[in-house]
Amino acid sequence: MQLRIKPLTKPEQSVEVSSNATTSDLFDAVHSAFGVEPAGQRLVFKGCPLLGTLFSHSSPTANLDKSRLISQYGIRDGDKLTLVIKQVSVPDSFQERRPSFETLLRNHLAHTYSEREVEVIVSKFMHTDPILRRHTKPELGP
């Protein structure tokens, strides 16, 4: 049977599954068509997500009865399902660490100004009191 899958941000595509396809088969077909891993998919049919008895916020397919036939959801040939693509979380250790704006500003100013001048400029620009800053030394006067 042909099913129309419409992601929220991409054009609709048709996927082919057998009339006795399971939810697992459907998730695999969507993966082939859109390149979205099953863990990142949430399929909605007539306003209801394709889920088992419980929904896990950590993984949309965690409690999905993967052996359940899609026909048990009332899905028929030609029906349209909405695909919500969820970002799969990436552990912090894999995320790129980017320097803060303040760090970038300090590095840029250090090419032209003394350390004390940089501190004064940054504190005024960032609207902070340099004496209250923990990572810098307090000013010792003129």
The verdict on 42 and 101 lying in the same domain is: no
The verdict on 127 and 66 lying in the same domain is: no
Q: Residue 43: how many CB atoms within 10 A of its CB? A: 25
- What is the rounded distance in angstroms from the CA atom of residue 83 to the CA atom of residue 41? 7
pLDDT at 94 over 60: no
The verdict on 75 and 100 lying in the same domain is: no
The verdict on 103 and 138 lying in the same domain is: yes
Q: How does pLDDT run across 96-129, given as a tens digit for each residue?
A: 667 788 888 888 899 999 999 999 888 887 776 5
pLDDT value of residue 11? 92
- Could you tell me the residue range of the domain that residue 125 belongs to? 96-142
The verdict on 28 and 83 lying in the same domain is: yes
Q: Which residues contact 135 (CB under 8 A, 6 or more apart)?
A: none
Report the candidate in 117, 119, 113, 115 with the shortest Cα–Cα distance to residue 131: 119
Sort 90 into a burial class: Cβ within 10 Å, 0-12 / 13-18 / 19+: exposed
The verdict on 80 and 15 lying in the same domain is: yes
Q: How does pLDDT run across 30-86, given as a tens digit for each residue?
A: 999 999 888 888 999 998 888 643 334 444 444 556 788 999 889 999 999 999 988
- What is the rounded distance in angstroms from the CA atom of residue 73 to the CA atom of residue 108? 59
Number of domains in the chain: 2
The verdict on 61 and 42 lying in the same domain is: yes
Q: Which residues contact 81 (CB under 8 A, 6 or more apart)?
A: 3, 4, 5, 6, 43, 44, 45, 50, 75
The verdict on 139 and 111 lying in the same domain is: yes
CATH number for 64: 3.10.20.90
Residue at which a domain ends, from 64, 87, 110: 87
The verdict on 62 and 29 lying in the same domain is: yes
Q: How does pLDDT run across 9-39, given as a tens digit for each residue?
A: 889 999 999 989 999 999 999 999 999 888 8
Residue at which a domain ends, from 48, 70, 87: 87
Residue at which a domain ends, from 45, 67, 87: 87
* 115, HSE (Cβ side, Cα atoms, 13 Å): 5
The verdict on 38 and 64 lying in the same domain is: yes
